[in-house]
């Protein structure tokens, strides 16, 4: 790679920096995730150095595309496109003047401020003096500029390190969180709604590897409805990588519930079966917990009483990252991660099939168990698991 024509990006860790003795492990995992996401590009190197991650890319590559890809990696707090120079005051000054002249030409800036950080404590000039001296050099080399310490058009950062120093102005925010693969594996109950893709994304952001399970009620639900869910899964996969989605036809179970159990209990009974089936799939695939998009009080099956009865059906822990969020905040997050427009497409969902007119909102466990005693639960669950289809989900 021609270093004179390369792009340099400084990548900063989020919570990874707080991991104490485990910090090197989390940093290595973060480097591997960045490498994996950038492997579509030729001429990329990713290295960990002095608490930062440096990404170097061939100058012919599109800088904004690379920034966009890095920003999707969980664990990344911010990214700065930077200029590298030798760690001498003369070299830093020359690089700063050149950088600011380009900023003047591209953005028409008129004011600036220099903020310096001396990571190398053996460097003979202290941080405040570096800022003053480099500011003076920039003023001399860029006659149109003035210093504004309160509201500058450009805040110029100077990061002085042992061998090289770096000059940059932007700190582009990433999503933060933890690198994928550092926090186990979970099975997400993925529907075509707004909530479950966001819940899946949020658990992946905490470092959890993902598999998914989707329930349909064909022919009451259409093939296009399943394709919608696959589209949603592909959007989520752009952040957490390729994963498997287990597809289950829930209709035989729904028909048995409708034929044998009180109508008002249909929703909660169906939900308990979904959780049990998901648990079997989770155990078969090494997933240590279930993930749902449930939100307290949003619908009849998500009241506090209903959630308690639902949880009683499984032994695996159930993660509900959206449990206390307002719906508008969930919708905002869906728009941010790119799932919202797909989620609102008007295709039916298995949860709307056989929907009771007056679903029970405060179910009693003893009554629910009495209703389930009328069904051959073990056979229904075993048949559902045996009939699963597996769809490989790839990033969009």
Residue 284 pLDDT greater than 70, yes or no: yes
Question: Does 106 lie in the same domain as 8?
Answer: yes
Contacts of 41 (CB under 8 A, 6+ apart): 57, 58, 61, 65, 66
Q: Mean pLDDT, the chain, as a whole number?
A: 92
Question: Does 195 lie in the same domain as 132?
Answer: no
Q: How many structural domains compose the chain?
A: 2
pLDDT of residue 2: 40
Domain finish residue from 124, 144, 173: 173
Domain finish residue from 113, 144, 173: 173
Question: Does 258 lie in the same domain as 154?
Answer: no
How confident is the model over 293-302, as pLDDT tens digits? 999 988 878 8
Flag whether 56 is marked binding: no
First to last CA, the chain: 29
CATH classification of the domain holding 124: 3.30.2130.30
CB 182 within 8 A of CB 317: no
Residue 350 pLDDT greater than 70, yes or no: no
CATH classification of the domain holding 248: 3.40.50.620
Question: Does 128 lie in the same domain as 253?
Answer: no
Residue 48 pLDDT greater than 80, yes or no: yes
Question: Does 362 lie in the same domain as 316?
Answer: yes
**Domain-embedded: residue 195:** yes
Domain finish residue from 145, 173, 201: 173
**Domain-embedded: residue 180:** no
**Domain-embedded: residue 32:** yes
**Domain-embedded: residue 179:** no
Query: What mean pLDDT is predicted for residues 201-230?
Result: 92
Question: Does 119 lie in the same domain as 216?
Answer: no
pLDDT of residue 19: 66
Flag whether 214 is marked binding: yes
Instruction: Please give the Cα distance from 394 to 234 (Å, whole number).
Output: 6
Instruction: Please give the Cα distance from 218 to 251 (Å, whole number).
Output: 7
Question: Does 193 lie in the same domain as 129?
Answer: no
Helix/strand/coil percent split, the chain, to 5 = 45, 20, 35
Query: Domain limits at 7?
Result: 3-173
pLDDT of residue 15: 77
How confident is the model over 235-262, as pLDDT tens digits? 999 999 999 999 999 999 999 999 999 9
Confidence of residue 51 (pLDDT cuts 50, 70, 90): confident
Question: Does 203 lie in the same domain as 149?
Answer: no
**What percentage of residues in the chain have a pLDDT greater than 70?**
96
Query: What mean pLDDT is predicted for residues 61-87?
Result: 94
Flag whether 250 is marked binding: no
Neighbours of 183 (CB within 10 A): 17
What does 106-149 look like in DSSP terms, one character per residue?
A: HH---EEEEEEEESSTTSSS-HHHHHHHHHHHHHHH-TT-EE-S
Question: Does 255 lie in the same domain as 374?
Answer: yes
pLDDT of residue 353: 67
Question: Does 357 lie in the same domain as 316?
Answer: yes
Neighbours of 258 (CB within 10 A): 15
**Domain-embedded: residue 381:** yes
**Domain-embedded: residue 163:** yes
Instruction: Please give the Cα distance from 112 to 138 (Å, whole number).
Output: 9
Flag whether 293 is marked binding: yes
How confident is the model over 12-24, as pLDDT tens digits? 987 766 666 778 8
**Total length of the chain:** 396
**Domain-embedded: residue 379:** yes
Q: Tell me whether residue 14 is exposed, middle or buried, using C-beta atoms within 10 angstroms of its C-beta: 0 to 12, 13 to 18, 19 or more.
A: buried
What residues are paired with 271 via a beta bridge? none
Residue 312 pLDDT greater than 50, yes or no: yes
Query: What mean pLDDT is predicted for residues 132-143?
Result: 96
Residue 57 pLDDT greater than 90, yes or no: yes
Question: Does 95 lie in the same domain as 67?
Answer: yes
**Domain-embedded: residue 178:** no
Question: Does 219 lie in the same domain as 156?
Answer: no
pLDDT of residue 366: 96
pLDDT of residue 300: 79
Flag whether 302 is marked binding: yes
Q: How big is the chain by its Cα radius of gyration, in Å? A: 27
Query: What mean pLDDT is predicted for residues 168-196?
Result: 94
pTM of this structure: 0.90
Confidence of residue 326 (pLDDT cuts 50, 70, 90): very high
Residue 1 pLDDT greater than 70, yes or no: no
pLDDT of residue 218: 86
pLDDT of residue 18: 65
Instruction: Please give the Cα distance from 349 to 355 (Å, whole number).
Output: 11
């Amino acid at each position: 790679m021609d270093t004179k024509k390369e792009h340099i990006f400084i990548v900063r860790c989020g919570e990874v920096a707080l991991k104490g003795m485990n910090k090197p492990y989390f940093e290595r995992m973060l480097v591997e995730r960045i490498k994996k996401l950038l492997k579509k590009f030729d001429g990329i190197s990713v290295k960990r150095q002095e608490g930062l991650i440096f990404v170097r890319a061939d100058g012919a590559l599109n800088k904004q595309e690379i920034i966009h890809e890095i920003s999707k990696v969980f664990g990344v707090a911010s990214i700065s496109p930077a200029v590298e120079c030798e760690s001498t005051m003369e070299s830093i000054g020359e690089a700063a003047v050149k950088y600011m002249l380009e900023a003047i030409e591209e953005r028409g800036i008129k004011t600036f401020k220099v903020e310096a950080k001396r990571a190398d404590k053996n460097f003979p000039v202290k941080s405040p003096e570096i800022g003053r001296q480099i500011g003076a050099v920039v003023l001399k080399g860029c006659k149109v500029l003035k210093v504004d310490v309160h509201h500058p058009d450009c805040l110029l950062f100077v990061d002085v390190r042992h061998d090289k120093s770096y000059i940059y102005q932007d700190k582009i925010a990433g999503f933060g969180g933890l690198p994928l693969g550092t926090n186990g594996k979970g099975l997400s109950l993925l529907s075509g709604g707004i909530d479950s893709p966001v819940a899946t994304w949020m658990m992946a952001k905490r470092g959890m590897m993902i598999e998914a399970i989707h329930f349909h009620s064909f022919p009451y639900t259409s093939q296009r409805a399943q394709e919608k869910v696959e589209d949603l899964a592909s959007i989520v996969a752009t952040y957490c990588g390729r994963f498997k989605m287990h597809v289950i036809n829930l209709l035989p179970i729904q028909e048995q519930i409708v034929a044998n159990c009180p109508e008002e209990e249909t929703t909660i009974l169906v939900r308990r079966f979904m959780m049990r089936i998901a648990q079997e799939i989770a155990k078969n695939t090494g997933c240590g917990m279930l993930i749902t998009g449930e939100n307290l009080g949003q619908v009849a099956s998500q009241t506090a009483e209903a959630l308690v009865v639902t949880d009683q059906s499984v032994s695996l822990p159930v993660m509900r990252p959206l449990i206390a969020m307002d719906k508008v905040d969930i919708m905002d997050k869906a728009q941010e991660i790119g799932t919202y427009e797909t989620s609102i497409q008007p295709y039916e969902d298995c949860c709307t099939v056989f929907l009771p007119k007056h679903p029970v909102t405060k179910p009693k466990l003893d009554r629910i168990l009495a209703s389930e005693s009328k069904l051959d639960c073990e056979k229904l669950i075993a048949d559902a698991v045996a009939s699963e289809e597996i769809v490989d989900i790839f990033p969009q």
